[in-house]
Chain A
């Protein structure tokens, strides 16, 4: 089954404790992205990657890092989480040849930073 998976699905942590949210896709997509969803703000892009070792900032990159060492994986790293990073996070992937730029989303990771 073609899918984007994220782990963990739920995470409660404390301020300053480094964490990583993993994302993996099995569709051989070149492009991957991370979004956060907050009430009243919709989906905002954090980082994206156009291919292995190619990443770039989205609209709200502060406090986040990403890496793309393999095509299928695109982990999101919070080096020193803060309460304002409490949010619902989505990973997405897209085929390079998608004519309408359709992205496929993972199930989401709900992060709470205390």
Chain B
């Protein structure tokens, strides 16, 4: 049973516009949600995270929104840049300390000039 779902395999956006990547989860025990970005031939790199006690976290052009009642989170990139083209993974984990990261299947974002 897939606990973290990214239902859009790909997304195309024009440079300067907003990119919205979505993620749904089923386990209400998740405490932290993370977004990773992955370029080809590189490992995933951490982008931004949000605690389950918050509904928004912002870092520069990246904002993550969490809707606990809907078990849904989204990553907004504004404005989108061609260098943002990558695969984005949503991940969820339990309480702080050490907890396994459960990943979604990823969404490939393509930002065209």
Contact = CB atoms under 8 A, between A and B. Distances in A.
Nearest to B90: A42
Interface in B55-113: 89, 91, 93-94, 96-101, 103-106
Contacts, number: 66
B105 A42 contact: yes
Interface in A16-73: 30-31, 33, 35, 40-45, 48, 50, 58
Nearest to B48: A100
A103 B101 contact: yes
Contacts of B99: 101
A90 B98 contact: no
B89 A58 contact: no
A44 B34 CA distance: 15
Interface size class of A (residues with CB under 8 A): 20 to 34
Interface residues of B, number: 27
Given A90-B43, A90-B44, A106-B43, A100 B101 contact: no
A107 B43 CA distance: 4
Given A31-B98, A41-B105, A58-B100, A101 B34 contact: yes
B41 interface: yes
Contacts of B97: 96-97, 101
Interface of A: 4, 30-31, 33, 35, 40-45, 48, 50, 58, 90, 92, 94, 96-108
19 contacts: A4-B43, A33-B101, A40-B105, A42-B105, A43-B89, A50-B98, A90-B43, A92-B43, A100-B51, A101-B96, A101-B99, A102-B46, A103-B46, A105-B43, A105-B44, A107-B41, A107-B42, A107-B43, A108-B43
Given A43-B44, A43-B103, A97-B97, 4 more contacts: A35-B103, A90-B43, A100-B32, A101-B101
